[in-house]
Amino acid sequence: MLAWLLSLHLCYASVLWLALRVLGSGLCICAAFLLGYVAFRGSCHYCGVEGEMVPAEDKPGTDHDNLVEGMYLGELRDMLKKYLQDEKIESTVRRVSRTTHPSGSSEGTALAAEILETFKDLHMDHTWTDSHYATLQFPSRIQRNSLWMVDSQGEVLEEIPLEDPDSYCAYSATGTATGGVVYVNYGRQQDFDWLQSSGVSVVGCVVVMRVGGGVSYAEKVLLAQKAGAGGALIYPDPADISQDPRRLGLNSYTAISEHVHLGSGDPFTPGFPSFNHTQFPPTQSSGLPVIPAQPISANVASKLLSQLTGPVCPRGWQGRLPYVRCVLGRGFTSADGRRIRMGVYNTMTPVLLNNIFSSLEGRIEPDQYIIMGAQRDAWGPGAVKAGVGTAILLELARTFSNMVQNGFYPRRSLLFVSWDAGDFGNVGATEWLELLLLNINSPGTSNVLLPEVLFLL
C-alpha cells in the first residue's frame, strides 16, 4: 500500500469508515474462515444456525471424550457479528489518525502504551512487550534536504524550495548529486530499457520519476542506480493521485515519504535480530541504495519538468502536471548549461522499537498459533495503514476476548500484535521473526513452531 496515504488529512477517516461499514460483514466472514477450522465452544448456546461442520485435524492419540464440542461455521460468523462493534472501530480510527506518531517519537511511545493498557483491560491470557533496538533514518535537525539550480561551473543560481521540508526517503544515501535532469516515467525496468534503446542516457543525471507504476520507491531507486543515475527525485503526478483537496486529494505542495531499502527489517542487522544494543560484526543490507533519493511535490516537479528540452516522451508517459510538455531532458531551455543539485542529509538514529503482544491460548494446540497484526507507526496524519489497521486489530482482540468469556474456545492460540516501525520496511515484525527463527535453530531447542498463518492488517 502506498505510503502517500499516510499524509492525507483526518477527513480520510470518515471516507474510509464508510468503506468499513460496507465491508463490515465481509470482515466477519473473513475472520470466520480464518479461524473457523480452529474454533470450538464450551457451554455456548447462543447460536442455532445450522451449517457444515468445520473440519479439524486431530493429533494422534487425541482423547475425543475430553474435547469441547466442535463449532459450526455459521455459528462462528454469527458470534462475530454479535460482538463486533462498528462504533469502536470508527472511534479508534479517528483517535489514532489525529496526529503523526513515527517510531521513536513521544507520540509513538504514548500510543504503544495505550494499546498495551487496552490489551490488559480486555482480560487476555497474556500481554507483553517485545523490544528491539534498530537503526532508523530521519531527516537531519541541523541541515535540511535541499534542491538547487546551478550553472555549468557549479555556482548556485537559485534554491528550489521543497515546500514539504519534512518529507524524505528513509535509508537514502546521503550527500549531494549534480547533473542534468531526465524524466523516466515510473522508473520501471521497462522505462529504463526504453530510454536505453532510444539512446537517452541517464548516466550521471538526476532522474525524475512519478509515484506508482507497480514498483516501490526502493525498486525505483535501485533501477535508477543500476542505470547509472546520480540521484533520484520522486513525485506524485495528478494522473495517478488526485491533487484536489476539495475531493480528499493531496495538496499540490505535498510530497510522499517512503523508505528506499529494498528489503525488510533493520538493514544493519540483515538476517538476525537487533536488540539490547548487541554488537554484531559490521554489516549492512545489500538492498541499501548508494545514490541519494528525495520525494518532491507536484509543484516542484512541474517547475523542473516544464524547463526541460529533449526528445518528446513516448505515448503513455504524459502525466497531468500543469504547464508541462512531456519531454525527456536532459538539458534545460535556458541553454546555458545549468544543472540540478540535490542534497540529502538524513541521519541514522538507534531507536527502541516496541511490538505489543497479547494472546488467547488455544484449548487443544496452544503451541500452534495464528497471528493478527497491524502496523502502529505513522509518518503523517491519515487513516490508512496505522489508523485502520490498529482499529481493526483492537476490535478483533476485544471481540474474541468477549467470545472466549462467553464460551468460545480457539483450538490454537491467537496472537494480536501491534507492530512498530512498519513505515521503515516492517522492521518490528521482521526483527521479531528473525529472533523466532534464531530460537528455532538454536541447539537444544524443541517444541517451537512457526505460525501456521500470518495475517497482517
CB count within 10 Å of CB 331 equals 18
Domains, the chain, ordered by start: 3-132+353-456 (3.40.630.10), 140-345 (3.50.30.30)
- pTM score: 0.84
Q: Does 53 score more than 90 pLDDT?
A: no
Q: Which of 346, 410, 3 is nearest to 176 (CA)?
A: 346
> Other CB atoms closer than 10 Å to residue 158's CB: what's the count?
10
What stretch of H or E contains 113?
A: helix 106-121
Percent of the chain whose pLDDT exceeds 90: 58
Instruction: Inform me whether the pLDDT recorded for 10 exceeds 50.
Output: no
444, pLDDT greater than 60: no
pLDDT at 31: 55
Cβ contacts of 41 within 8 Å, gap of 6 or more: 68, 69, 70, 71, 75, 407, 408, 409
Q: For 69-127, how does the pLDDT look when each residue is reduced to its tens digit (9 = 90+)?
A: 566 778 778 888 888 888 888 888 888 888 889 999 999 999 999 999 999 999 999 99
- Reading the block at residue 394, the C-alpha cell is 483492537
Mean pLDDT, residues 324-345 taken together: 93
pLDDT of residue 13: 36
Cα separation, 279 vs 260, whole angstroms: 25
Task: Report pLDDT for 347.
Answer: 98
* Average pLDDT over all residues of the chain: 83
66, pLDDT greater than 60: no
pLDDT for 258-316, tens place per residue? 999 999 999 998 888 876 655 566 678 999 999 999 999 999 999 999 999 999 999 99
180-215 confidence digits (pLDDT tens): 999 999 999 999 999 999 999 999 999 999 999 999
**Using one digit for the tens of pLDDT, what is the confidence trace for 152-162?**
999 999 999 99
